[in-house]
């Protein structure tokens, strides 16, 4: 079980899930210096937006730290390049605060349209019944411009369309079919800025989106337009926005996120509003701050941690390009086992892997299965940390190639399991093949090179190929018995009635190398390998 540190708070429901899974959980707010001192004792770290998981923290966590979880969407407080280089998986919880962030965006649209917080403040704190200064605008009939049409943007669109707004959107990945279904017109960013009356932002902060809304783009907007950002700080150039609001280039802004948080005293927007400006609303990063959202993201990240530490399953990792169709999710561990098994039966260095999906499995994107196969193989031959973050680089450094393909052709013996996944391990001297299938959720190996077999795979195996003649079983059985190694299962296969036989023994304990050497000397097999899974 894992040791997990939670530094920015986490809902009790999420903490309970981690503890129920048997993990040790420490919950504490700590200084940067203390974090650097203790992080090396933890397998996992859960943060929100306050803790900065920088290069120093990642280095201090090595080699024990395996996963960083952000209980929320944005991971700009995590050094992704260094995490990836160190093999640390970074996960987020992108679905838990969708409704919360969307509703805050919608609330900000209404607030900036009617100047609600400004009017409230003047009435309550200045006792000033001022109606003239707070004439707003209606939303009905106005154009809503959405930058980034993900789940949050779609929810915003649906609600504000119901309020009578028409919607246009800029999203490079928006297909015409989806746009038509949502009753949203797909436009360029420049067209959106020129046409929209209200603009909402819903993009992550990347090098491409940093200062996406700058001085030049603010000039494209209508003077009557208003902009809302509940996404990430840094998407809008705050100094340029301040100048546009002062000059009347645009009519208003409502901002929940800032380039530096907590917002510093010298922030231009903060000082502009403090100076009495009425056309700008600021809130302290409240987009995900609902009771429901806090529970959802905590439960999500806890479930993701539990899945990872229980079976290595990776969910919502932002630095792992692995998106597995749920229909073939169960094959991920199977592919990894096949890769680990075949590489332990090689006499020469691995040069490449070819992974072939067969039959119904071929209908899906099986590249993730190929990656899982490679991961399983490398874990047995590399002394580095091998996971879905590091596997590609380790393979490239070793010159190991990976090819994935699909075939509708299914192999198998009559009455036995069909071969759904074929793995070819390529060496300088040729190919070594293993084929498997999932039967009732259990991996069965149905092929090894030219031999047809049917073996539930797992645990400790002894794989031998030898000339088939009487007395062979007695010889290696005696050696194993004398060394107190029990045979749990035996699988024997021959290509024809005479010649060589393939024997795979499932054993209760691993076979020491000295015992394998004794079997080689006595039985004189063509090949003998010990395999551990």
pLDDT for residue 311:
81
Tell me the C-alpha distance between 80 and 88, whole Å: 9
Give the pLDDT mean for 62-69.
94
Active site residue 261: yes
In tens, the pLDDT along 445-456 reads 999 998 999 988
Token couple for 483? 């060394």
Active site residue 398: no
The more confident residue out of 316 and 117 is: 117
Which of 152, 75, 142 is CA-nearest to residue 114?
142
Tell me the C-alpha distance between 459 and 17, whole Å: 29
User: Element (H or E) spanning 37, and its range?
Assistant: helix 32-38
- State the chain's mean pLDDT as an integer: 91
pLDDT for residue 173:
78
pLDDT for residue 321:
66
pLDDT for residue 412:
59
pLDDT for residue 411:
65
Percent of the chain with pLDDT over 90: 67
Of the listed 114, 261, 494, 518, which one is catalytic? 261
Q: Between the ranges 78-82, 162-166, 395-399, where is the mean pLDDT highest? A: 162-166
The more confident residue out of 376 and 172 is: 376
User: In which band, very low, low, confident or very high, does the pLDDT at 498 lie, cut at 50, 70 and 90?
Assistant: low
pLDDT for residue 322:
66
Tell me the C-alpha distance between 267 and 239, whole Å: 8
In tens, the pLDDT along 148-191 reads 998 899 999 999 999 999 999 999 878 888 888 999 999 999 99
- CB neighbours (10 Å) of residue 518? 16
Which residue ranges form the domains of the chain, and what is each CATH number?
Answer: 3-95+293-311 (3.40.50.720), 98-282 (3.40.50.720), 329-457 (3.30.1330.90), 458-533 (3.30.70.260)
User: Element (H or E) spanning 80, and its range?
Assistant: helix 80-85
Give the pLDDT mean for 193-219.
94
User: In which band, very low, low, confident or very high, does the pLDDT at 494 lie, cut at 50, 70 and 90?
Assistant: confident
Tell me the C-alpha distance between 89 and 316, whole Å: 10
Give the pLDDT mean for 287-316.
92
pLDDT for residue 482:
92
User: In which band, very low, low, confident or very high, does the pLDDT at 7 lie, cut at 50, 70 and 90?
Assistant: very high
User: In which band, very low, low, confident or very high, does the pLDDT at 414 lie, cut at 50, 70 and 90?
Assistant: low
Of the listed 104, 232, 432, 447, which one is catalytic? 232
pTM exceeds 0.85 for this model: no
| C-beta separation of 502 from 528 below 8 A | no
Q: Is the pLDDT of residue 379 over 60?
A: yes
Active site residue 291: no
Of the listed 285, 358, 444, 447, which one is catalytic? 285
């Amino acid at each position: 079980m894992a040791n997990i540190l939670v530094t920015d708070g986490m809902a009790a429901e999420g903490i309970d899930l981690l503890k129920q899974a048997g993990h040790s959980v420490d919950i504490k707010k700590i200084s940067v210096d203390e974090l650097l001192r203790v992080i090396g004792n933890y397998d996992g770290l859960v943060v929100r937006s306050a803790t900065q998981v920088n290069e120093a923290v990642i280095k201090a966590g090595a080699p024990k730290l395996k996963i960083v979880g952000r209980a929320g969407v944005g991971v700009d407080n995590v050094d992704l390049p260094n995490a990836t280089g160190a093999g640390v998986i970074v996960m987020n919880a992108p679905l838990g605060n969708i409704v919360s962030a969307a509703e805050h965006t919608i609330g900000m649209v209404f607030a900036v349209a009617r100047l609600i917080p400004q009017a409230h403040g003047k009435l309550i704190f200045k006792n000033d019944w001022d109606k003239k200064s707070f004439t707003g605008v209606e939303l009905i009939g106005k154009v809503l411009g959405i930058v980034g049409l993900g789940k949050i943007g779609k929810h915003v669109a649906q609600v504000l369309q119901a309020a009578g707004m028409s919607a246009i959107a800029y999203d490079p990945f928006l297909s015409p079919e989806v746009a038509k279904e949502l009753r949203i017109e797909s436009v360029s960013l420049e067209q959106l800025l020129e046409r929209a009356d209200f603009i909402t932002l819903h993009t992550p902060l990347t090098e491409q989106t940093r200062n996406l809304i700058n001085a030049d783009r603010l000039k494209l907007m209508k003077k009557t337009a208003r902009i809302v950002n509940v996404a990430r700080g840094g998407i809008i150039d705050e100094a340029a926005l301040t100048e546009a609001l002062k000059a009347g280039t645009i009519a208003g802004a409502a901002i929940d996120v800032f380039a530096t948080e907590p917002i510093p005293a010298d922030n231009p927007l903060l000082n502009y509003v403090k100076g009495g400006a009425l056309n700008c609303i600021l809130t302290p990063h409240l987009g995900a701050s609902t009771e429901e959202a806090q529970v959802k993201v905590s439960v999500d990240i806890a479930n993701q941690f539990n899945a990872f530490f229980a079976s290595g399953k990776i969910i919502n990792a932002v630095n792992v390009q692995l998106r597995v169709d749920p229909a073939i999710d169960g094959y991920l561990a199977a592919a990894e086992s096949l890769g680990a098994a075949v590489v332990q039966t090689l006499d020469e260095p691995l040069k490449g892997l070819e992974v072939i999906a067969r039959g119904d499995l071929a209908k899906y994107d099986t590249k993730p299965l190929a990656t899982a196969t490679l991961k399983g193989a490398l874990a047995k031959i590399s002394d580095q940390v091998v996971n879905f973050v590091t596997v590609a680089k380790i393979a490239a450094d070793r010159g190991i190639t990976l090819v994935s393909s699909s075939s509708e052709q299914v192999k198998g013996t009559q009455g036995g399991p069909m071969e759904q996944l074929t793995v070819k391990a390529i060496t300088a001297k040729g190919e070594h093949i293993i084929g498997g299938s999932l039967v009732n959720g259990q991996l069965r190996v149905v092929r090894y090179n030219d031999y047809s077999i049917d073996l539930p795979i797992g645990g400790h195996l002894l794989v031998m190929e030898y000339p088939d003649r009487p007395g062979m079983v007695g010889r290696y059985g005696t050696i194993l018995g004398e060394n107190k190694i029990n045979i749990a299962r035996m699988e024997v296969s021959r290509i024809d009635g005479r010649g060589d036989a393939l024997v795979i023994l499932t054993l209760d304990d691993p076979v020491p190398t000295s015992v394998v050497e004794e079997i080689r000397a006595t039985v004189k097999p063509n090949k003998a390998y010990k395999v551990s899974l």
